[in-house]
């Protein structure tokens, strides 16, 4: 009898819970909470950090990510999963990789093993192979330093289910605290895999014929670049430019970014299958805003390289004032080489596929600003998500102000005397949830041209600024107490705006 009652209660609890979660899923499916990004990837519920395992295969872009399925703060990491046919609209998929006795699943990459070097493919099928860090919290608590190792898993059903390799870990820890975030790519010239690994304050390169046995090739970075924090989430890939191959090494670090907290630096140079040799010793930043971190590129996209970043910062990621979910991804960005004089730089631009969510374009045209000018397209309506593209003939001071009727405002501007762009979110709404969030952040203007061309992508709680040929970019979060409903251009100088277009964007959900 006792057993029967227990059984009935269990079944009832299950049905009740199932219904509750089904309702919750439906309620949030459209993701309509005040701060919910409309054109950026977010999981329906709970915590997300780094993008992981991005691979393009058979017409699908896969995006895995650091995910805590039971909480909206960081904790035991799993790999969440989303897929897309056009890199803009995302389908939320079931969790892909779960923790096991070797540890939780930290950041890493995935490849399409076209030549079946791993032998995981059956009947001519190409295996997708994920290479990731396993983090053993118990070893860390026991004060050991070998708690992070690299493991692999494979999928034969388009990333839906993953089988862990029974020889894991494939790369043991030599006794170094921070030993993680493997980014693997195929090095065509010598037909081998290269693993780019973040090892505390440097990068180590490893090579492998089959993704299972790894040999150390070289170290890079101890005496070069920014070292304000631990090096994490690297990436290495070639870009063609002017008939030449330029190798790009992305290195994320936390803290130590130009505007505080976590950020992404890069190096350009040569890679010979074993060693990376940089062209210059200057520190270069891919992004100056505080809210683009851990960005790496999709594998198997040919010569085109597309990156996505985590749109947050470890300074306050666990405290941002959202409900149900916490954090999300940036707009995917195409990376190319651009030159200032003869010097190559890494440029980012929103992927061209974003054109598919363009709803309505309003050409505001040419005008002068002397003081403030309201350019709100339809007063009183919710305006985000939208894109604003504009050009000024000559560089002069100006501001773009997004505001609401509570007096909260986000100011995006250019300071001619300092030759820098800035985003000021000190009065943007909720800013006191964590010290370090409020602030005015700056980016140098890396361009020798007179003319200024800017593209802003604004969602319900973020802005992404692209200017100077994609060499000055900034990503910032904001949390107004009421949505911004007004857009103004402001200048103390008499500024001629040559072109201004406002593009309303459609939600991707
Ligand atoms: C970067 C990072 C990685 C690590 C992961 C853990 O944001 O710290 O180095 O693998 O997050 O979630």
Q: What mean pLDDT comes out for the span 294-300?
A: 98
- 327 and 441 co-located in one domain: no
Total structural domains within the chain: 2
What distance in angstroms lies between residue 329's CA and the mean position of ligand 1's atoms? 14
As beta bridge partners, residue 368 has 496
Q: How confident is the model at residue 29 (pLDDT cuts 50, 70, 90)?
A: low
- 329 and 444 co-located in one domain: no
pLDDT of res. 395:
79
Q: Single out the residue in 291, 324, 350 at which a domain terminates.
A: 350
Of 114-118, 191-195, 317-321, 362-366, where does mean pLDDT reach its minimum?
Answer: 362-366
Q: Are strands 60-68 and 78-84 parallel, antiparallel or unpaired?
A: antiparallel
pLDDT of res. 380:
67
- 37 and 137 co-located in one domain: yes
> What stretches of 367-439 show up as alpha helix (H) in DSSP?
none
Q: Single out the residue in 350, 374, 390 at which a domain terminates.
A: 350
Catalytic residue of the set 32, 50, 292, 415: 50
What distance in angstroms lies between residue 360's CA and the mean position of ligand 1's atoms? 39
pLDDT of res. 323:
85
Pocket test for ligand 1, best of 66, 109, 133, 200 (most atoms within 8 A of CB): 66
For residue 441, with 0-12 CB atoms within 10 Å meaning exposed, 13-18 middle and 19 or more buried, which class applies?
A: buried
pLDDT of res. 383:
84
- 279 and 428 co-located in one domain: no
- 117 and 155 co-located in one domain: yes
266: left (phi over 0), alpha (psi -120 to 50) or beta: beta
DSSP state of 338: E
- 324 and 437 co-located in one domain: no
CB of 232 shorter than 6 A to ligand 1:
yes
- 194 and 289 co-located in one domain: yes
pLDDT tens, 404-419? Answer: 999 999 999 999 999 9
The tokens of 209 are what?
């014929």
pLDDT of res. 303:
96
Which residues have a Cβ under 8 Å from the Cβ of 145 and sit 6 or more positions away?
A: 173, 175, 176, 177
The tokens of 465 are what?
């600024």
CA distances from 328 to 174, 245, 342 (A): 33, 33, 37
Contact between residue 334 and residue 305 where contact means Cβ atoms under 8 Å apart? yes
- 424 and 310 co-located in one domain: no
Q: What mean pLDDT comes out for the span 434-447?
A: 96
- 259 and 316 co-located in one domain: yes
- 420 and 318 co-located in one domain: no
In the chain, DSSP finds a helix count (H) and a strand count (E) of 2, 33
Report the CATH number at residue 194: 2.115.10.20
DSSP string, 133-187: EEE-HHHHHTT-S--EEEEEEEESSTTSS-EE-TT--SB---S-S-EEEEEEEEE
Q: Single out the residue in 350, 381, 407 at which a domain terminates.
A: 350
Q: How confident is the model at residue 245 (pLDDT cuts 50, 70, 90)?
A: very high
Report the CATH number at residue 395: 2.60.120.560
pLDDT at 8 over 50: no
CA distances from 287 to 401, 412, 467 (A): 21, 15, 11
pLDDT of res. 35:
96
CB of 50 shorter than 6 A to ligand 1:
yes
Residue 485's domain comprises: 359-505
- 60 and 149 co-located in one domain: yes
- 296 and 363 co-located in one domain: no
For residue 17, with 0-12 CB atoms within 10 Å meaning exposed, 13-18 middle and 19 or more buried, which class applies?
A: exposed
How far apart are alpha carbons 293 and 288 in whole angstroms?
11
pLDDT tens, 250-294? Answer: 999 999 999 999 999 999 999 999 999 999 999 999 999 999 999
pLDDT tens, 49-86? Answer: 999 999 999 999 999 999 999 999 999 999 999 999 99
Q: How confident is the model at residue 22 (pLDDT cuts 50, 70, 90)?
A: very low
């Amino acid at each position: 009898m006792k057993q029967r009652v227990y059984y009935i209660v269990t079944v009832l609890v299950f049905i009740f819970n199932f219904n509750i979660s089904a309702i919750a899923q439906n309620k949030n499916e459209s993701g309509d909470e005040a701060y919910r990004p409309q054109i950026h990837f977010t999981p329906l519920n709970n915590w997300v950090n780094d993008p992981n395992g991005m691979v393009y295969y058979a017409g699908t872009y896969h995006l895995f990510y650091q995910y805590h399925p039971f909480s909206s703060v960081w904790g035991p990491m799993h790999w969440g999963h989303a897929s897309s046919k056009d890199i803009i609209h995302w389908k939320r998929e079931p969790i892909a990789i779960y923790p096991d006795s070797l540890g939780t699943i930290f950041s890493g990459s995935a490849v399409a093993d076209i030549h079946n070097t791993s032998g995981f493919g059956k009947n001519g099928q190409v295996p997708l192979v994920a290479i990731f860090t396993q983090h053993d919290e118990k070893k860390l608590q026991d004060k050991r330093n070998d708690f992070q190792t690299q493991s692999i898993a494979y999928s034969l059903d388009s990333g839906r289910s993953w089988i862990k390799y029974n020889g894991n870990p494939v790369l043991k820890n030599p006794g170094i605290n921070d030993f993680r975030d493997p980014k693997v790519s195929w090095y065509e010239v010598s037909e081998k895999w290269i693993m780019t690994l973040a090892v505390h304050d440097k990068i180590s390169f490893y090579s492998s014929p089959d993704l299972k046995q790894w040999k150390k090739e070289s170290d890079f970075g101890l005496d070069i670049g920014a070292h304000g924090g631990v090096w994490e989430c690297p990436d290495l890939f070639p870009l063609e430019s002017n008939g030449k191959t330029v190798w790009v090494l992305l290195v994320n670090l936390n803290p130590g970014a130009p505007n505080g907290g976590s950020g992404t630096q890069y190096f350009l140079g040569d890679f010979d299958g074993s060693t990376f040799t940089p062209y210059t010793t200057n520190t270069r930043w891919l992004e100056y805003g505080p809210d683009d971190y851990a960005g790496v590129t999709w594998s198997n996209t040919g010569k085109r390289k597309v990156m996505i970043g985590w749109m947050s910062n470890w300074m306050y990621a666990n405290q941002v004032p959202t409900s149900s979910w916490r954090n999300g991804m940036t707009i995917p960005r195409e990376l190319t080489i651009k030159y200032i004089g003869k010097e190559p730089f890494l440029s980012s631009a929103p992927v061209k596929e974003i054109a598919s969510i363009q709803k309505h374009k309003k050409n505001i045209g040419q005008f002068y600003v002397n003081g403030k000018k309201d350019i709100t397209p339809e007063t009183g309506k919710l305006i985000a998500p939208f894109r604003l593209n504009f050009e000024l003939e000559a560089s002069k001071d100006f501001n773009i102000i997004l505001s609401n009727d509570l007096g909260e405002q986000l100011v995006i501007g250019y300071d001619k005397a300092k030759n820098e762009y800035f985003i000021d979110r000190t009065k943007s709404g909720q800013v006191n949830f964590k010290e370090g969030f409020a602030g005015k952040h700056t980016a140098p203007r890396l361009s020798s041209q007179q003319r200024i061309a800017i593209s802003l992508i604004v969602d319900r709680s973020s802005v992404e600024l692209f200017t100077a040929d994609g060499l000055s970019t900034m990503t910032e979060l904001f949390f107004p107490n009421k949505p911004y409903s007004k857009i103004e251009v402001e200048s103390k100088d008499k500024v001629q705006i040559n072109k201004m277009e406002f593009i309303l964007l459609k939600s991707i959900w």
